Structure 1
Amino acid sequence: MVPEALLILLLALGAGAAMPAGAVFARFDELHPDWLSTEWRHFIVAFGGGALISAIALVLVPDGTARLAPPAAALSFAAGGVTFFALDIWLNRMKSAAGQLVAMLSDFVPEAIALGAAFAAGESTGLLLAFLIALQNLPEGFNAFEELAHAGRLAQSTVLTAFCAMALLGPASALAGYYWLGHYPQVMGVLLLFASGGILYLVFEDIAPQARLENAWMPALGAVAGFLIGLVGSMLAG
């Protein structure tokens, strides 16, 4: 039987590896631009948004509110939204090409910590959370790589290296949650709801507008598909 700490490390690494995998997929799309239609590109973006919302609705918010009183839960959620709003404004003013990388880390690191904490608390949501993180990281990696490549400020090899380095933060964050934060349920509740507020802001500020496409219906179905897979995973885990 695989030791629990090793299992957590492998799950977090696998979930994080979805980011460079998405980048490789985007690189292939650049080399062969005709194989994927515009509508399917928007489908991929919307799919990531649906997966993010499913993580909020099915894991992060339920687990977070179970650990906190209503005032603390509301404050934590609001603080996450406001913080991501301020971060978005700062990155826009800086005109940084690394904005997409920061955005991905902003939801990946708290979720990886929550993954480790779930195992520490003996909960059944750890495997589901790893699945949902991978599900959202793949289209996020695809979308972020394409945006950074089109910006032209960083070499594509540099972007791909950065994505691989970011993937390694997953195991470190998950082990921190397992060995440390998992023993502080209220701190974890604050972290989960903070991440939820921030992710919800990102979905409606960044992902949903990019997914919109006139006279096309596949992007909206992509959001449904992303949430549906999260829903099925949640039911199976339960």
Structure 2
Amino acid sequence: MIQLILYSGFAGITVFLGGILANYFNHHVKESPVKYEITHTLMSFGAGIILSALALVLIPKGMQELNLFPFIFSFLFGALLFMILDQYLAKKGGQTATLLAMMMDFIPESVALGAVYAIEPDMSTLLAVFIGLQNLPEAFNAFRDLVQSGFTIHKTLIIFFFLSFFGIIGALIGHFVLSNYPDLTSHLMTFASGGILYLLIQDIIPESKLEKSYLTSLGAILGFLIGIIGEKII
């Protein structure tokens, strides 16, 4: 059990580390066109990693365990619910799409980590590393979005610190509650997939685009490649 907490703790702490790195980069690196391009490339890189989690982990798990119509229901329910939530947040003037996508990705995968640990401990080690690598660029981008939405740096870092522990909570729930209910875990992952895909297309990918720059799109390709490498190793 200590090992599971350590694995999920590592996967979660990168949320806080990503926020610290974003704070340093935003406030201690001189403003320049290169900095602007790096920021957008990291946004694109994070989008690629989120997309890889969607395509290689969340959706395949749902398709493996669920029949067609339950899968469709959970997927569309996730997309529609997050469309409504996104509209509500947009009216309030917030930029929280990246944070929402990160948590929609992080929490189901942490639950899966706990469930997998009960069956295949070796695979859970690699899955923890994979989740941790995903969280770093996602948190980097989410920090920037929250600060631009009006959150103070101090408050944002506190939020990220507490979000880091969601991995441990999710893993313990997956291990003790959901390891014997693969259908329920699959519904959770499929629901998350619909919401993530909506947020990617509506908010995150358009925000990462930078005029007269082709490096940003390459960032998404590299992010997706990281996901392929992680899945291949697992």
Same fold, TM exceeding 0.5? yes
Q: Structure 1 residue 191 and structure 2 residue 188: aligned?
A: yes
Change (3 A) 1:100 1:44: closer
Structure 2, unaligned stretches of length 5 or more?
A: none
Superposed CA RMSD in Å reads: 2.1
Verify the 8 A CA contact 2:101 2:196 in the aligned structure 1: no
Residues 5-154 of structure 1: pairs in structure 2 closer than 5 A: 5-34=1-30, 37-96=35-94, 101-122=99-120, 126-151=124-149, 153-154=150-151
1:158 to 129, 149, 155: 155
Give the C-alpha shift of residue 201 in structure 1: 1.3
Give the C-alpha shift of residue 25 in structure 1: 1.0
Supply the distance in 2 between the matched residues of 1:101 and 1:236 (Cα, whole angstroms). 27
Q: Name the amino acid aligned to 2:134.
A: Q
Deviations 1:198-232 (A, max 9, x none): 11112112210111011111111111111111111
Structure 1, unaligned stretches of length 5 or more?
A: none
Change (3 A) 1:38 1:96: closer
Give the C-alpha shift of residue 68 in structure 1: 0.8
Give the C-alpha shift of residue 134 in structure 1: 2.0
TM, length-normalised to structure 1: 0.88
2:220 corresponds in structure 1 to 223
Change (3 A) 1:102 1:177: same
Q: Name the amino acid aligned to 1:146.
A: R
Alignment length (residue pairs) = 232
Structure 1 stretches of 4+ with a deviation exceeding 3 A read 94-104, 121-129
Give % identity: 38
Query: Higher mean Cα deviation, 218-227 or 101-110?
Result: 101-110
Supply the distance in 1 between the matched residues of 2:190 and 2:10 (Cα, whole angstroms). 24
Supply the distance in 2 between the matched residues of 1:100 and 1:207 (Cα, whole angstroms). 6
TM, length-normalised to structure 2: 0.90
